[in-house]
Amino acid sequence: MDIHEYQAKEILARFGVPVPRGGLAYSPEQAGYRARELGGSAWVVKAQIHSGGRGAAGGVKLCRSEAEVQQFAATLFGKQLVTKQTDANGKGVYRLWVEGASDIAKEMYLGFVLDRKSERIMIVASAHGGMEIEELAETDPDSLQRMTLDPAVGLSEFQARELAFKLGLKGGQIAQMVTILKACYRAYRDLDAVMVEINPLVITGAGDLIALDAKMSFDTNALFRRPEIAELRDRSQEDPRESAAGDYGLAYVGLDGDIGCIINGAGLAMATMDMIKLAGGEPANFLDIGGGASPERVVRAFRTVLADRNVSVILVNIFAGINRCDWVAEGVVQAYREVGMTIPVVVRLAGTNVEEGKRILATSGLPLITADTLAEAAEKAVATRMKSAA
């Protein structure tokens, strides 16, 4: 689960990371009030959306008067901001963050991520910030400093100081960096985060380190024990299909194709999408109905897939272990009748109770297309889609 910049800053500030003073605004008038409340002669107004690249997309601006703050805020509220990290529809802007302008002498990058290869937290840092980590890795790979942390030990003082030295910090800045690194590590560890990023982490003209921007993402599976984090969820920033599917325990990711997928198991779902591509088609989604899928759960999966208007055919691919093919077959038949299906459905069943599942499909009297193998199912789905398009 992602959260907004201002929420990440509030969390990191509680752990000891220095951040600029700012205020949240839900209207242009409130944005102007926040500027007046903060004082000073310059303010930065930032669109709060779950995406990077806001500045390049026109979602961040330095304003030098209260009137300019209100005018810029008025252009942002309700706008669908399209960045290089969003799709063509962009993300809706319904909140703004107004903070006092900072005197920036130097920008750096700092990130804490899960390194799945080593199964440890990895710190990624660079003496150059203000751009995405992918760009840094491509344009200046030598500037990236990486450090993995032993979960039994955590982040030690000497590791933090060593990283500060490698980033070229001196004097009191080293102590400040140690404080920031240890605070970020505690926030990551204590709140079940999967990513903490400060970009840029700036050195001000006075030589102080401040987190000018921040991002945090959390392990969705751990939210049950982090109610204070779960409350920060902003559904307006999520794909409504993915949000609705998650409410019913379905793992769903929307894609750009037109062949809807209903699969059990993430690995099988990935293999199915690969097979669809190999057959010349484009998957419309990733959907894992999970183990022990009841007929009602299968019906919900159908409704979720059909919420995408681009779907022209549905491919059901079940390899039953914990699941049972007869349950899934009953769900397919029930969904077909309840939903009033108007598009073709291709079904491939294998595993537990497969013969009974096939019998249920065959005696249903419905125009279901069956297949014995994954390759055959993908080919039939693609052929059916092309026939429908013609």
**What is the chain's Cα-based Rg?**
25
Specify whether the backbone of 190 is left (phi greater than 0), alpha (psi in -120 to 50) or beta: alpha
Residue from 248, 344, 348 nearest 303 by CA: 248
Q: Evaluate whether 199 touches 213 at the Cβ level (below 8 Å).
A: yes
- Look at the alpha carbons of 280, 380, 252, 239 in this order and tell me if their dihedral is positive or negative: positive
SS3 of residue 91 by DSSP? strand
Q: Is 274 annotated as a binding residue?
A: no
Q: Residue 18, preceding bond cis, omega within 30 degrees?
A: no
Q: Is 21 annotated as a binding residue?
A: no
Q: Is 213 annotated as a binding residue?
A: yes
Residue from 15, 2, 8 nearest 190 by CA: 15
Q: Is 264 annotated as a binding residue?
A: yes
Among candidate residues 6, 109, 185, 252, the one labeled active-site is: 109
- Active-site residue 197, yes or no? yes
Among candidate residues 5, 6, 185, 197, the one labeled active-site is: 197
Q: Is 107 annotated as a binding residue?
A: yes
Q: Is 235 annotated as a binding residue?
A: no
Residue from 33, 199, 25 nearest 124 by CA: 199
SS3 of residue 348 by DSSP? strand
Residues with Cβ within 8 Å of residue 256, at least 6 apart in sequence: 282, 284, 310
Q: Is 387 annotated as a binding residue?
A: no
- Active-site residue 134, yes or no? no
Q: Evaluate whether 166 touches 147 at the Cβ level (below 8 Å).
A: no
Total number of residues shown for the chain = 390
Q: Evaluate whether 318 touches 291 at the Cβ level (below 8 Å).
A: no
Expressed in percent and rounded to 5, the helix, strand and coil fractions of the chain are 40, 25, 35
Q: Evaluate whether 317 touches 287 at the Cβ level (below 8 Å).
A: no
Pairwise CA distance, residues 304 & 297, whole Å: 11
Count of CB atoms situated within 10 Å of the CB of 12: 22
Q: Is 102 annotated as a binding residue?
A: yes
Pairwise CA distance, residues 113 & 42, whole Å: 34
Annotated binding site for substrate: 264
| Catalytic residue set | 109, 197
Annotated binding site for Mg(2+): 199, 213
